[in-house]
Amino acid sequence: MSNSHDHDTNRYFFDPEYRKRVRQRVVGGKTSKRRLFFYSILTFLSVALISAGIYVTYLFQGLPPIESLENPKTATASVVLSRDGAILDRYFVENRTDIRIDEISPNAVNALISTEDHRFYRHWGMDMYRTLAIPFHLVRGNPQGGSTLSQQLARNLYREIGREFSVTRKFREMITAVQIENNYTKREIIEMYLNTVEFSNSSFGIESAAQTHYGKPARDLTVKESATLIGTLKAVSLYNPRINPQNAIQRRNVVLWQMMNHGFISEEEFYQLREEPIRLNYQPPSRSGRESRYFGEYVRQQVIKWTEENGYDLYSDGLRIYTTIDSRLQRHAERALKEKVDSLQPLFEREWTSPGGDYMNRLWEEFPGFLHRYLRETDRYKNAFAELNTDQEAVVFENLLADSAFVDSVKRARTRLEAGFVAIDPNNGNVLAWVGGSDYGTRQFDHVHQMRRQTGSTFKPFVYAVAVDNGYMPYHTFSKYPVSFIDTRAGNHWRPRDPVVPDGPEMVPLRQGIARSLNNVTVRLLPEIAGAPGTNRLEDLDPAARMIRDMAMNLGIDLSNEPAYPSIALGTARASLLELVSAYTTFANQGVHIDPIAITRIEDKEGNVLVEYHPDYRQEVISPETAYIMIDMMRGVIRGGDGFYGTGVRLRNVYNVQQDVAGKTGTTQNSADNWFVGMMPHIVMGSWVGGEDRQIRFPNSRGVGQGARSALPIVGQFIQYASNDPEVDWSFNAFEPPPGFVMPEEPQLRPADQQEDRRGRIGW
One-character DSSP codes across 112-139: HHHHH-TTGGGSSS--HHHHHHHHHHHH
Contact 713, 683 (CB under 8 A): no
The pLDDT value given to residue 481 = 95
What is the pLDDT averaged over residues 60-87? 70
Q: Is the pLDDT of residue 2 over 50?
A: no
The pLDDT value given to residue 19 = 64
d(CA 251, CA 261) in angstroms, rounded, equals 15
Q: Is the pLDDT of residue 467 over 80?
A: yes
Top mean pLDDT of 55-59, 257-261, 403-407, 640-644 is at: 257-261
Q: Is the pLDDT of residue 38 over 80?
A: no
d(CA 405, CA 369) in angstroms, rounded, equals 19
What is the pLDDT averaged over residues 617-630? 94
The pLDDT value given to residue 319 = 94
Q: Identify residue 302 by its one-letter amino acid code.
A: Q
The pLDDT value given to residue 97 = 78
The pLDDT value given to residue 134 = 54
pLDDT band at 693 (very low <50, low <70, confident <90, very high): confident
What is the pLDDT averaged over residues 625-650? 92
Mean of pLDDT over the chain: 84
Q: Is the pLDDT of residue 549 over 60?
A: yes
Single out the residue of 698, 696, 697, 678 nearest to residue 686, CA to CA. Answer: 678
Q: What is the pLDDT of residues 557-575, one digit of tens each?
A: 999 988 999 999 999 999 9
Q: Identify residue 625 by its one-letter amino acid code.
A: E
The pLDDT value given to residue 172 = 64
Angle made by CA atoms 492, 497, 499, in degrees to the nearest 5: 135
CA torsion angle for 755, 522, 618, 308 (degrees, to 10)? -170
Q: Is the pLDDT of residue 13 over 70?
A: no
What is the pLDDT averaged over residues 214-231? 95
The pLDDT value given to residue 1 = 45
Q: What is the pLDDT of residues 245-259, one digit of tens each?
A: 899 999 999 999 999
Q: Is the pLDDT of residue 26 over 90?
A: no
DSSP class per residue in 587-640: HHTTTEEE--B-EEEEE-TT--EEEE---S-EEE-S-HHHHHHHHHHHHHHHH-
d(CA 577, CA 449) in angstroms, rounded, equals 6
Q: What is the pLDDT of residues 95-139, one digit of tens each?
A: 677 889 999 999 999 999 999 888 888 876 666 556 555 555 455
Single out the residue of 722, 677, 720 nearest to residue 582, CA to CA. Answer: 677
Q: Is the pLDDT of residue 351 over 90?
A: no
CA torsion angle for 204, 205, 211, 213 (degrees, to 10)? 70
CATH architecture of 69-77+90-292: Orthogonal Bundle (1.10)
Q: Is the pLDDT of residue 760 over 60?
A: no
Single out the residue of 201, 146, 152 nearest to residue 176, CA to CA. Answer: 152
Q: Is the pLDDT of residue 220 over 90?
A: yes
Domain boundaries of the chain, sorted by first residue: 2-61, 69-77+90-292, 361-414, 418-599+617-723
Contact 424, 583 (CB under 8 A): no
Q: Is the pLDDT of residue 722 over 60?
A: yes
Q: Is the pLDDT of residue 525 over 50?
A: yes
Q: Is the pLDDT of residue 408 over 80?
A: yes
Within 10 A of 167 (CB to CB), how many other CB atoms are there? 8
d(CA 63, CA 175) in angstroms, rounded, equals 8
pTM: 0.73
Q: Is the pLDDT of residue 468 over 60?
A: yes
pLDDT band at 225 (very low <50, low <70, confident <90, very high): very high
Q: Is the pLDDT of residue 710 over 50?
A: yes
d(CA 132, CA 149) in angstroms, rounded, equals 17
The pLDDT value given to residue 608 = 95
d(CA 222, CA 219) in angstroms, rounded, equals 9
Q: What is the pLDDT of residues 168-200, one digit of tens each?
A: 556 666 766 677 777 788 888 889 889 888 898
The pLDDT value given to residue 458 = 96
Contact 717, 340 (CB under 8 A): yes
Q: Is the pLDDT of residue 442 over 60?
A: yes
Q: Is the pLDDT of residue 400 over 60?
A: yes
pLDDT band at 748 (very low <50, low <70, confident <90, very high): low
Q: Is the pLDDT of residue 621 over 90?
A: yes
- Asked: is 418-599+617-723 a CATH 3.40.710.10 domain? The reply is yes
The pLDDT value given to residue 167 = 56
The single-letter DSSP state of residue 216 is S
19 alpha-carbon distance from chain centroid: 90
Higher pLDDT, 757 or 738: 738
Q: What is the pLDDT of residues 283-310, one digit of tens each?
A: 876 544 444 689 998 999 999 999 989 9
Q: What is the pLDDT of residues 228-239, one digit of tens each?
A: 999 999 888 899
Q: Is the pLDDT of residue 700 over 80?
A: no
